[in-house]
Structure 1
Amino acid sequence: MSVDDSPAVQAAARFAAEKIAPRTDLADVDGFPDDLWTAMAAAGLFGYGIAPQYGGAGLGPEDLARTAGALVRAGGNVPAAAAWAVHTTAARQLLQRLAGEEAKAELLPAIALGESSAAMALSEPGVGAHPKRLSTRAVRDGDAWQITGSKAYISNGPRADWYVVLAVSSEEGGRKAFTGFLVNRDWPGVTRATDSGVDFPGALGHCGLELREVRVPDRYRVGAEGAGDAEILRRVRIVEDSLMAPALTEAVGRRIAAAAAHLRNAGGADDETASALGRMASEQRLLALAAPHLLAHVEAGGDDAALFGYRAVAHDLHDGFDSLRQQLTGGAPLDALDRDMLQLGRVARSIDALRYRALGRGLVQKTQES
Structure 2
Amino acid sequence: MPQDSSLEVTKRIDDWWSIEKHDILADPFGKMAGAGLFQIGLPGAGAALDTYRAIAIAEQAIAAKTGLLGLASGFAARQLTARFFISGFADASQRATWLPRIAAGQVCAAIAISEPGAGAHPKHLQTAAEPHGAGYVVRGRKAWITNGPIADVFLVLSVIAVEDERKRYGLFLIPRETTGLVVKPMQALDALAPASHCELELDGCRVPAAALVGHMADAYPVMALPFRDVEDTVGTASISGLLSWLLEKSAALIERSEENALRLGRIAGLVSLVHAASRLAVMALDGDGQEVPARTIGVRLLARDIVSEIRDLLVQVKPLDDAIARALAAYDLLSSVAREPRKVRQARLGNSLWSEKL
Q: Which residue type is aligned with residue 282 of structure 1?
A: G
| Deviation of 1:270 (Å) | 5.2
Q: For each residue in 1:73-130, what CA deviation from the matched residue of structure 2 results, as whole angstroms up to 9, or x when unmatched? A: 2333221121211110111000010111111111111111011110010110122112
Select 1:102's aligned residue among 70, 93, 98: 93
Counterpart for residue 29 of structure 1: none
**TM-score of the pair, normalised by structure 2:** 0.89
Other structure's SS at 1:51 match: coil
Q: Tell me, yes or no, if the aligned pair for 1:147 and 1:214 is still in contact at 8 Å.
A: yes
Q: For each residue in 1:270-320, what CA deviation from the matched residue of structure 2 results, as whole angstroms up to 9, or x when unmatched? A: 52x432322111110121123223222134393644222322222222232
Select 2:253's aligned residue among 225, 238, 262: 262
- Sort the Cα spacing of 1:357 and 1:331 in 2 relative to 1 into closer, same or farther, 3 A: farther
| Number of residue equivalences | 353
Other structure's SS at 1:50 match: coil
Other structure's SS at 1:191 match: strand
Structure 2 residue 115 is the aligned partner of structure 1 residue 124: yes
Structure 2 residue 57 is the aligned partner of structure 1 residue 70: no
Structure 2 residue 268 is the aligned partner of structure 1 residue 277: no
Other structure's SS at 1:367 match: coil
Structure 2 residue 8 is the aligned partner of structure 1 residue 8: yes
| Deviation of 1:4 (Å) | 7.7
Counterpart for residue 318 of structure 1: 307
- Sort the Cα spacing of 1:365 and 1:7 in 2 relative to 1 into closer, same or farther, 3 A: closer
Counterpart for residue 193 of structure 2: 202
| Deviation of 1:143 (Å) | 3.0
Counterpart for residue 296 of structure 1: 283
Which runs of structure 2 are paired with 1:1-370 in the superposition (5 Å)? 6-23=6-23, 26=25, 35-52=27-44, 58-195=49-186, 200-264=191-255, 268-269=256-257, 271=259, 273-300=260-287, 302=291, 304-326=293-315, 328-329=317-318, 334-368=324-358
Counterpart for residue 30 of structure 1: none
Counterparts of 1:4 and 1:258, CA distance in 2 = 30
Other structure's SS at 1:149 match: strand
Q: Which residue type is aligned with residue 30 of structure 2?
A: T
- Sort the Cα spacing of 1:363 and 1:218 in 2 relative to 1 into closer, same or farther, 3 A: farther
Q: Which residue type is aligned with residue 291 of structure 1?
A: S
| Deviation of 1:5 (Å) | 6.4
- Sort the Cα spacing of 1:15 and 1:245 in 2 relative to 1 into closer, same or farther, 3 A: farther
List runs of 5+ in structure 1 lacking aligned partners: 27-32
Counterparts of 2:315 and 2:344, CA distance in 1 = 28
Counterparts of 1:357 and 1:326, CA distance in 2 = 34
Other structure's SS at 2:186 match: coil
Q: Which residue type is aligned with residue 293 of structure 1?
A: L
Counterparts of 1:246 and 1:136, CA distance in 2 = 32
Other structure's SS at 2:74 match: helix
Other structure's SS at 2:88 match: helix
Counterparts of 1:72 and 1:364, CA distance in 2 = 38
| Deviation of 1:133 (Å) | 1.2
- Sort the Cα spacing of 1:50 and 1:318 in 2 relative to 1 into closer, same or farther, 3 A: same
Counterparts of 1:147 and 1:331, CA distance in 2 = 49
Other structure's SS at 1:163 match: strand
**TM-score of the pair, normalised by structure 1:** 0.86
Counterparts of 2:308 and 2:346, CA distance in 1 = 18
- Sort the Cα spacing of 1:231 and 1:196 in 2 relative to 1 into closer, same or farther, 3 A: farther
Q: Tell me, yes or no, if the aligned pair for 2:185 and 2:198 is still in contact at 8 Å.
A: yes
| Deviation of 1:241 (Å) | 2.6
- Sort the Cα spacing of 1:285 and 1:188 in 2 relative to 1 into closer, same or farther, 3 A: same
Counterparts of 1:188 and 1:291, CA distance in 2 = 42
Q: Tell me, yes or no, if the aligned pair for 1:170 and 1:176 is still in contact at 8 Å.
A: yes
| Deviation of 1:322 (Å) | 2.8
Q: Tell me, yes or no, if the aligned pair for 2:135 and 2:209 is still in contact at 8 Å.
A: yes
Q: Tell me, yes or no, if the aligned pair for 1:119 and 1:156 is still in contact at 8 Å.
A: yes
- Sort the Cα spacing of 1:313 and 1:136 in 2 relative to 1 into closer, same or farther, 3 A: same
Other structure's SS at 2:170 match: strand
Counterparts of 1:202 and 1:139, CA distance in 2 = 37
